[in-house]
Structure 1
Amino acid sequence: MKKKLFTILMGTTLAFSLAACGSDSDKGKEDTVTNGETVAGAGDEQKIYDQKCSMCHGDNLEGKSAPSLKTVGATYDKDGILDIINNGKGRMPKGTVKGEEAEKVAEWLANKK
């Protein structure tokens, strides 16, 4: 009987802990699905970059196997960056980031001067 009670209490505690894992900073930044594609909420440009770009361009835009993006906005505007994201350039494959996410990342990077 004690084992069953302990198991129920632990399960309930775990369920409440998992339910509370979200943070207030994520409120209003819900992901949406558009044309079958998940689009990140506002302010998630860094998150998109971290997931899809940082492996080559570095965690801090410093460049690794791909160029640094720390001052990319001084060279390219949003449309120029979006063109590179959509069509690739050099060793960068096209379409690594797509749709509205690509638009957001391009605009975010264009401000890096």
Structure 2
Amino acid sequence: MNKKLLAVIFGAALMLAACGGAKEETTTTKTGTTTETATVNAEKIVNSKCISCHGGNLEGQGNFPALNNVGSRLSENEILNVIENGRGGMPGGLVTGEEAKEVAAWLAAKK
């Protein structure tokens, strides 16, 4: 029994660790100076944080609306507001900061 509980806890910890940090870093070298820029991969964030409720193709599931055409219903700012503050059964703050802005822009383009 204890081994099963330990396995469940360990598995949950691995899943939570996999969901964090969706930033990618690239390094550009120019005449000996290294400049690092962080880019946000909105699709990767959506795949890690949204598909469990909204479906693998963002087609919607049960009470969760489709996101594959959300840009035809909501503006980028409205989508950002839902991401930050939640709406209905969706809690706010699943994605924050610059990542939330990038996800909102990416979803707004889905029409």
Q: Which bracket does the TM-score occupy, shorter chain normalised?
A: 0.5 to 0.7
Give the Å deviation of 1:93.
Answer: 0.2
RMSD over aligned CA atoms reads 1.6
Task: Structure 2 unaligned segments of length 5 or more: list them.
Answer: 1-23, 27-37
Aligned to 1:62: 59
* Residues 71-100 of structure 1 deviation map (CA, whole Å, 9 limit, x = unaligned): 100111110000000010000001011110
Aligned to 1:90: 88
Task: Structure 1 unaligned segments of length 5 or more: list them.
Answer: 1-28, 32-39
C-alpha distance in 1 between matches for 2:56 and 2:42: 13
Q: Greater Rg, structure 1 or structure 2?
A: 1
C-alpha distance in 1 between matches for 2:84 and 2:72: 20
Query: Partner of 1:30: helix, strand, or coil?
Result: strand
Aligned length: 76
Normalized per residue, the structure richer in strand is 2
Percent identical residues: 50
Give the Å deviation of 1:41.
Answer: 1.9
TM-score between both structures, scaled by the size of structure 2:
0.64
